[in-house]
Structure 1
Amino acid sequence: MADIERHDYDVIVIGAGGAGLRAAIEARSRGLRTAVVCKSLFGKAHTVMAEGGIAASMGNVNSRDNWQVHYRDTMRGGKFLNNWRMAELHAKEAPQRVWELETYGALFDRTPEGKISQRNFGGHEYPRLAHVGDRTGLELIRTLQQKIVSLQQEDHAEHGDYEARLRVYPECTVTELLLDEGRIAGAFAYWRENGRFLRLEAPTVVLATGGIGKSFKVTSNSWEYTGDGHALALRAGANLIDMEFVQFHPTGMVYPPSVKGILVTESVRGDGGVLRDAEGRRFMFDYVPEVFKGSYADSEQEADGWYSDPDNNRRPPELLPRDEVARAINSEVKEGRGSPHGGVYLDVASRLPAEEIARRLPSMHHQFKELADVDITAESMEVGPTCHYVMGGVEVDPDTAASGVAGLFAAGEAAGGMHGSNRLGGNSLGDLLVFGKRAGAGAAEYVAGLGARPEVSQADVEAAEQRALRPFEESGSAAAQHPYALHGELQQVMNELVGIIRRGEEMSSALDELAELKDRAGHMAVFEGNRQFNPAWHLTLDVANMLLVSECVARAALRRTESRGGHTRDDHPGMDATWRRRQLVCEHRDGAVTVTERTHPPMRRDLLELFDITELRKYFTADELGEVTAEL
């Protein structure tokens, strides 16, 4: 057995995006010794790619906005499958988290009065997204990263050590969570650069690892998004919920092929951009669902007037929730009205002056000019749906972010429940901040209530090491499999059979293919090189996680026989009210994934009263509403 580094902490945060850094700041501020483990370089988390803004009902642009309106929008966007308590906490606390970022040094765009500027976004009734041009995620990470550095400077001033109570482990990957009689005892990890192993001991772990997008062929997600946190939680005994709901952002680049899938921020549409078919027709007016009639314009004149008239509540149809826009684009392409490269046109050039586009959307202007040789101030972009976000994740307590495993917490995209069947744009950054803070606080309270600390078993460490090194042993086997080939096959299966439009027989085929890939993955091998920065070795570990999480997505999607939010069944095209209360739960027992049904808890009465009874009848069964129907 090789020498293994050993470190002791109170909290291990896995992931250094917005949720992970906010959790680490909270834990450290409460006096806990905290480790932040990040797969990439510190400051390079996928959060930097979030462009549009942070949804928070500060009312800086429209004073009628408040947390109740934000709550309503979030529940409508999620088709009422959201954990209502998480949606409530998020709507109430997001403004405080934005103002807090300002105290950390974040530089937001301003209104003429000097307040934080807020922009329009799909599914939001009022301009609500606090933003920094179209680089909000970058500013968020920069700000939280600098806060981490300032806390380390405090440690140096007090203890003569920059890492006395807060250390960052960059380019380090956790392969397993270590347990002591069902409680978190630590994590097993390795340095990506040299392959050396680490034994991190702590009674709490916060999972903030992001999403699962690299399981799909066309995705806006960066290379880190391989479902690590989801898989770690499953193997440790936690549940995943809502895994059938995968969001396909409606506007990813479709041409040229080298940049296919790269995100085109919703800010383009929020600032006036419109979607057109191959003939230049603005087609979104044809796709406003019945449940949204009355809230969205049905003519170009009315839609365009909305941007200048704050009293006009009928929004442009381009600002429908993302699932609706993605399905509309998919339908246009399927009907033969798409662009030459399989998308539609996103036009902002005819809507705003060139200098205004460059000012409001600097990243988009630069991205298209440099990567695709398209000047968005003068011509339209070709866009189409791209795998962007998973609404499902670790089942957590809304108030503490605690999972069902003692000592294990989750926040951000790794946690499920907040967004229901579909996430509204801008709600992700608020989610990171609100529940990142709550996860850090929950971990601190858990540690404070501990008696004896859990202990890491030497046998478990040795077993984790053997599993991590197995791909090197497989290289001489006749059954050896190349991880790159398996990853490509997995992405093809998920994209074609469990993608934006789903059918029962195709998902059954996907499960058969996933089972075969799982068998072959047991023989993944590293054919060349050693443990020193070996990308093939890293991918063998990632593919194992992606296969496990992909099976959860496919099994849950096959089970849910309706279309809702990010889950569209071609063979069950309607939304079924009897499915609204039914939540699908994924478990991993004895090496197998099982999916069971559970009933959603009823929404609290005062929150239910925020909605008109006519709207509730579109989502709830008569039995669910019961006596409330008559009283409302």
Structure 2
Amino acid sequence: MTEIERHQYDVVIVGAGGAGLRAAIGAHDKGARTAVVCKSLLGKAHTVMAEGGIAAAMGNVWPEDNWQVHFRDTMRGGKMLNNWRMAQLHAQEAPERVWELESWGALFDRTPDGKISQRDFGGHRYARLAHVGDRTGLEMIRTLQQRVVALGIDVFMECTITRLLLDGDRIAGAFGYWRESGRFIVFEAPAVVLATGGIGKSFKVTSNSWEYTGDGHAMAMAAGAPLINMEFVQFHPTGMLWPPSVRGILVTESVRGDGGVLRNAAGRRFMFDYISDYFKAETADTEEEADRWYDDHINNRRPPELLPRDEVARAINAEVKAGRGSPHGGVYLDIASRRSPEFIKKRLPSMYHQFKELADVDITKEPMEIAPTCHYVMGGVEVDADSAMSKVPGLFAAGEVAGGMHGANRLGGNSLSDLLVFGKRAGEYAAEYARGQASRPRIDEADIRDAEQEALAPFMRDGGENPYTLQRELQETMHSLVGIIRVADEMKQALEKIAEYRERLARVSVEGNRQYNPGWHLALDLRNMLMVSESIARAALERKESRGGHTRDDYPASDPEWGKRNVCCRWAGDHVEVYQQPLPEMPDELKKLFEENH
């Protein structure tokens, strides 16, 4: 065994996006010796791509807004599969987290009377997204990063964690490697917070950056923590479509929030054809409530383009399937005919630059060609709502890697407030957990040797599988067989292919040495992508209904019985097992928020 670099901490945060940085601040403020380990460079986390805003019921634009309305919107958007306690804490604590960011130096856009400006977003009854133009995620990361550096928290950049280490059934630390040198590193810590983000690189068309290979999801499952809601994958309605080099890059919902409309190939604004069906089928418990919600939507001049993302993505998919799509298989997003060039450049500077530079399209003069793109996974590590701890003692999760908060579908803007609310909670509770341990856990040296051998295995094989070929085939499988519209036969095909890919993974080989070797890095990531892809496919096959981000062509309706339970995944050594568990019971005082007079 080669010499391995070692460090000791109380809390180790894996990931330096919004959740990871807020967790680090929370753990540090509780007195824990804290480290942040990130796969990329500090400041390059995928959170910077979150452009629209932070959802928080501050009431700056609509005084009627409050946490109860935000909670209700979140639960309805998630088709009532959300963990109600997580949704409650999120709605209650989001405003304070935004004001906290402001106190740390975040520069939000302002209303005429000087308050933090809030914009409309899909699924939210009131305008409640605090924003910085269309660069909100970047400002959040800048502010949190500055705070982390000022506090002196240790940061290990371009360092990838490949395995969680256990002492019995509790966390003892983490094993990883430096991406530049390939040297191995071990972190000894009684508490680990996963903040690794999502799984989008398992799909062919995605808005996600290269880091999103499901590392946290897979490592947690391998350590014994179950995942929840993995069938629910959100396809953001608007991703860039042409030219092929930009396919999947996110087009922020802010375009629609600021007046952009969707048109088919004939120039027709088609979303009005789908709005009433949404309110009757998804929002209301009674016909009267559906009509009231519909009238309220129209009277407040909330455009149908701001229905929840799953509804808009399905509408776009339906237009394309009906032969009314754009030349490259999408539809058009038009803000040029609705807003002045000055307005667009001021409110959407990143979008103007993105289309001008990458697609040679001037969005102040012509529409954007867009199509749905794999954007977010609602599923993740099952955690306790208050503490963010998983079923594995000492293992915490926050942000996209954690499941339960968003149910079957996430509302736009809820992601950034989710990162702040549960990042803080995860960091603070991780510090308290670590301090409460009677003795520090011990790492078995045999586990370190095993992790080292597993990481080096691709170098020991000659002439084996190419990792890039394997990833490309996996992405095509997930895109075509477990995508927006699903049927049982295709998902069974996908599972057969994933089993084949797992056999081929054991034959993957890489050339060269360990110094910055992207092929080697991908070879190690593929294990995670396969575990996550199998979890999605098995959970989607298990849920025999359509709900939120999960649409079954063979079960097109929502089933009330399936609305009472979650699908969970656990690792069985060489495959994923699924099982069902009932939803936690919502208390009566919260149930009343869904009655007719609300």
The secondary structure found in structure 2 opposite 1:382 is: strand
Matched, 1:294 2:291: yes
The aligned counterpart of 2:419 is 432
Structure 2 counterpart of 1:575, which letter? S
Does the aligned pair in 1 maintain the 2:5–2:185 contact within 8 Å? yes
The aligned counterpart of 1:209 is 196
The secondary structure found in structure 1 opposite 2:551 is: coil
* CA offsets 1:238-269 (integer angstroms, 9 cap, x no match): 00000000000000011111101000000000
Q: Which of 538, 542, 561 is the matching residue for 2:544?
A: 561
Structure 1 counterpart of 2:499, which letter? A
Seen in structure 2, the aligned counterparts of structure 1 residues 598 and 613 have a Cα distance that, compared at 3 Å, is: farther
The secondary structure found in structure 2 opposite 1:62 is: coil
Does the aligned pair in 1 maintain the 2:238–2:370 contact within 8 Å? yes
Q: Which of 520, 527, 535 is the matching residue for 1:544?
A: 527
The aligned counterpart of 2:59 is 59
Q: Which of 245, 248, 251 is the matching residue for 1:264?
A: 251
The aligned counterpart of 1:377 is 364
Matched, 1:353 2:353: no
Alignment of 1:47-446 (within 5 A): 47-152=47-152, 166-288=153-275, 289=278, 290=280, 291-292=282-283, 293-294=290-291, 312-313=299-300, 315-446=302-433
Shift of 1:149: 1.1
Percentage of identical aligned residues: 70
The secondary structure found in structure 2 opposite 1:494 is: helix
Matched, 1:492 2:489: no
Higher RCO (CA < 8 A, seq sep 6+): 2
Does the aligned pair in 2 maintain the 1:296–1:315 contact within 8 Å? no
Structure 1 counterpart of 2:16, which letter? A
Does the aligned pair in 2 maintain the 1:507–1:558 contact within 8 Å? yes
The aligned counterpart of 1:522 is 506
Structure 1 counterpart of 2:101, which letter? L
Structure 2 counterpart of 1:604, which letter? P
Distance in 1 between the 2:509 and 2:103 partners? Answer: 49
Shift of 1:591: 2.4
Structure 1 counterpart of 2:327, which letter? P
The aligned counterpart of 2:487 is 503
Task: Mark the runs of 5 or more structure 2 residues left unpaired by the alignment.
Answer: 284-289
Distance in 2 between the 1:448 and 1:151 partners? Answer: 20
Structure 2 counterpart of 1:510, which letter? A
Distance in 2 between the 1:73 and 1:12 partners? Answer: 34
The aligned counterpart of 2:579 is 596
Structure 1 counterpart of 2:158, which letter? E
The secondary structure found in structure 2 opposite 1:168 is: strand
Does the aligned pair in 1 maintain the 2:4–2:186 contact within 8 Å? yes
The aligned counterpart of 2:570 is 587
Structure 1 counterpart of 2:218, which letter? A
Distance in 2 between the 1:15 and 1:149 partners? Answer: 15
Shift of 1:3: 1.1
Does the aligned pair in 2 maintain the 1:296–1:316 contact within 8 Å? no
Distance in 2 between the 1:113 and 1:33 partners? Answer: 42
Distance in 1 between the 2:578 and 2:596 partners? Answer: 33
Distance in 2 between the 1:592 and 1:382 partners? Answer: 40
Structure 1 counterpart of 2:472, which letter? G
Distance in 2 between the 1:110 and 1:613 partners? Answer: 35
Distance in 2 between the 1:232 and 1:472 partners? Answer: 22
Distance in 2 between the 1:297 and 1:333 partners? Answer: 26
Distance in 1 between the 2:597 and 2:247 partners? Answer: 42
Distance in 2 between the 1:134 and 1:314 partners? Answer: 22
Shift of 1:601: 1.5
Structure 2 counterpart of 1:427, which letter? N
Shift of 1:592: 2.2
Distance in 2 between the 1:103 and 1:456 partners? Answer: 41
Distance in 2 between the 1:589 and 1:564 partners? Answer: 27
* CA offsets 1:416-440 (integer angstroms, 9 cap, x no match): 0000000000000000000000000
Structure 2 counterpart of 1:482, which letter? N
Does the aligned pair in 2 maintain the 1:122–1:424 contact within 8 Å? yes
- TM-score, scaled to structure 2: 0.97
Does the aligned pair in 2 maintain the 1:242–1:420 contact within 8 Å? yes
Shift of 1:614: 9.7
Shift of 1:315: 2.2
Shift of 1:529: 1.0
The secondary structure found in structure 2 opposite 1:248 is: strand
The secondary structure found in structure 2 opposite 1:532 is: coil
The secondary structure found in structure 2 opposite 1:610 is: helix
The secondary structure found in structure 2 opposite 1:422 is: coil
Distance in 1 between the 2:573 and 2:358 partners? Answer: 47
Distance in 1 between the 2:380 and 2:4 partners? Answer: 31
Matched, 1:447 2:444: no
Does the aligned pair in 1 maintain the 2:30–2:432 contact within 8 Å? no
The aligned counterpart of 2:496 is 512
Distance in 1 between the 2:137 and 2:363 partners? Answer: 22
Does the aligned pair in 2 maintain the 1:125–1:313 contact within 8 Å? no
Task: Mark the runs of 5 or more structure 1 residues left unpaired by the alignment.
Answer: 153-165, 307-311, 616-632
Distance in 2 between the 1:210 and 1:77 partners? Answer: 21
Does the aligned pair in 2 maintain the 1:77–1:423 contact within 8 Å? yes
Distance in 2 between the 1:297 and 1:222 partners? Answer: 37
* CA offsets 1:54-100 (integer angstroms, 9 cap, x no match): 00000001100000000010001000000000000000000000000
The aligned counterpart of 1:608 is 591
Structure 2 counterpart of 1:363, which letter? S
Distance in 1 between the 2:330 and 2:515 partners? Answer: 42
Q: Please, what is the CA RMSD of the aligned residues?
A: 1.3
* CA offsets 1:7-54 (integer angstroms, 9 cap, x no match): 000001000000000000010111111110000001100000000000
Structure 2 counterpart of 1:495, which letter? H
Distance in 2 between the 1:284 and 1:497 partners? Answer: 26
Structure 2 counterpart of 1:465, which letter? E
Distance in 2 between the 1:199 and 1:445 partners? Answer: 22
The secondary structure found in structure 1 opposite 2:234 is: strand
Seen in structure 2, the aligned counterparts of structure 1 residues 581 and 85 have a Cα distance that, compared at 3 Å, is: same
Q: Which of 462, 466, 469 is the matching residue for 1:482?
A: 466
The aligned counterpart of 1:466 is 453
Q: Which of 555, 567, 579 is the matching residue for 1:572?
A: 555
Alignment of 1:3-82 (within 5 A): 3-82=3-82
Shift of 1:613: 5.0
Between 351-360 and 585-594, the greater mean CA deviation after superposition: 585-594
Distance in 1 between the 2:303 and 2:345 partners? Answer: 22
Shift of 1:297: 6.0
Structure 1 counterpart of 2:507, which letter? H
Distance in 2 between the 1:77 and 1:614 partners? Answer: 19
